[in-house]
Amino acid sequence: MASGFKNVGIGKGIFTDDGACKLILQGDGRLHMIVSGTDMGQGFRTAMTQIAAETLGMDIADIYITNGDTELTIPTGESVSERQTLCGGRAVYEACVKLKQDLDSRPWRPGEERRAEYYYASDPCFAIGDFEGAKKRGAKYRNFPAYAYATQAAIVEVDKETGKVRLLKIIAAHDVGRAINPHIIEGQMHGSCSMGQGYALTEGYPTRNGYPVKTLYRQLGLPRAEDTPDYEIILIEDPEPQGPFGAKGISEVATVPVTPAIINAVSRAIGVRINKVPASPEVVLEAIRTGKCEVPTMEQQLQALKKDCECHRPSDGVQ
């Protein structure tokens, strides 16, 4: 088992974690939503559309979204640090509240166009230890807008004759604030756990004389479909005050506990602390044989890196 947490937002006073949304209720009754943020496969567009439909009481089929267009969207920060559900989602929610209030005061009529927009900036954040900066601004000292928390457990089977480890099951409990789309969240957690599985047990990218030893994708040791364990996903909903409907998102944090959870399970199975990755059959067998798993000292690691990175000079003199 292992636990971890990760920041939601860039924070640390680098720049404001923000999001923005423009809404255009068109003459045909459809809603055009223009959102600042990029969908890289994480389900951003779906989540933003769901937030708008819930807030306005609209059919999701009557909402279409534009994002990633710098000519149309309001400038905001990057789509990183699992911040888009909190920041972009909050902007969508507030823009929809403004539009709803406008419609309540003056009902919409077919053929009429109505607009609303909102720019959201999270509470101020400060560099680590900058208590004075927070005091001067009269703000609460914090490094990031929010945090995501996770605990995961791994169940493994170890063949002590071969050193081979089989990952049987992952139990993953994550505080997501509020699950806007549980199906998308579970999919992200499955993918993240597979990444951690590879890092823990099979993946490696060794080099020799500065050149990769493994030159084919299939040689890298990425987990395959048949290596996928059973997953038990537990979504903890502890609402985040800044997030839309209490949501704060999930992405990178899902990779934080899984590797140490797997390594902890392997260590318990063989009775020897494994402290290097990947825990390949060779590493596991050596630990069983010697009763220890030695990690090179920092000096040894630096010497190995220096030796590995020695410049390779072909005979024609081209470096």
Within-domain flag for 107: yes
Same domain, 231 and 165: yes
Same domain, 191 and 288: yes
What pLDDT, in 10s, does the model give residues 276-295? 899 999 999 999 999 888 76
Give the pLDDT of the chain (319 residues) as one tens digit per residue.
999 999 999 999 888 899 999 999 999 999 999 999 889 888 999 999 999 999 999 999 999 999 989 899 999 988 888 899 999 999 999 999 999 999 999 999 999 999 999 999 999 999 999 999 999 999 999 999 999 999 999 999 999 999 999 999 999 999 999 999 999 999 999 999 999 999 999 998 888 888 888 889 889 999 999 999 999 999 999 999 999 999 998 888 999 999 999 999 999 999 999 998 999 999 999 999 998 887 666 676 677 667 666 544 444 444 4
302 contact partners, CB below 8 Å, separation of at least 6: none
- 82: domain CATH number? 3.30.365.10
Number of domains in the chain: 2
Do residues 223 and 258 lie in contact, with contact meaning Cβ atoms separated by under 8 Å?
no
Using the CB atoms, write b or e for 155-182: b if 16+ within 10 Å: bbebeeeebebebeebbbbbbbbbbbbe
Same domain, 152 and 279: yes
Do residues 7 and 147 lie in contact, with contact meaning Cβ atoms separated by under 8 Å?
yes
Chain centroid offset of residue 232 CA = 19
| Burial category of 54 from C-beta neighbours within 10 Å (exposed 0-12, middle 13-18, buried 19 and up) | middle
Same domain, 52 and 112: yes
- CA-to-CA separations, 43 to 50, 163, 187, in angstroms, rounded: 11, 39, 10
Same domain, 163 and 89: no
Q: How far apart are CA 175 and CA 2, in angstroms?
A: 15
Same domain, 105 and 180: no
Same domain, 55 and 171: no
Same domain, 154 and 81: no
Within-domain flag for 3: no
* Active-site residue flag, 226: no
Same domain, 156 and 292: yes
DSSP notation for 82-104:
T-HHHHHHHHHHHHHHHHHHHHH
Within-domain flag for 11: no
Within-domain flag for 318: no
Same domain, 61 and 206: no
Full residue range of the structural domain in which residue 274 is found:
147-302
Within-domain flag for 10: no
Of 252, 286, 294, 310, which is the active-site residue? Answer: 252
Q: How far apart are CA 227 and CA 224, in angstroms?
A: 5
Do residues 123 and 139 lie in contact, with contact meaning Cβ atoms separated by under 8 Å?
yes
Output the pTM of the full model. Answer: 0.86
What pLDDT, in 10s, does the model give residues 247-277? 998 888 999 999 999 999 999 999 999 998 9
Same domain, 30 and 74: yes
Within-domain flag for 224: yes
Closest CA to 222 of 207, 202, 242: 202
Within-domain flag for 74: yes
Same domain, 103 and 55: yes
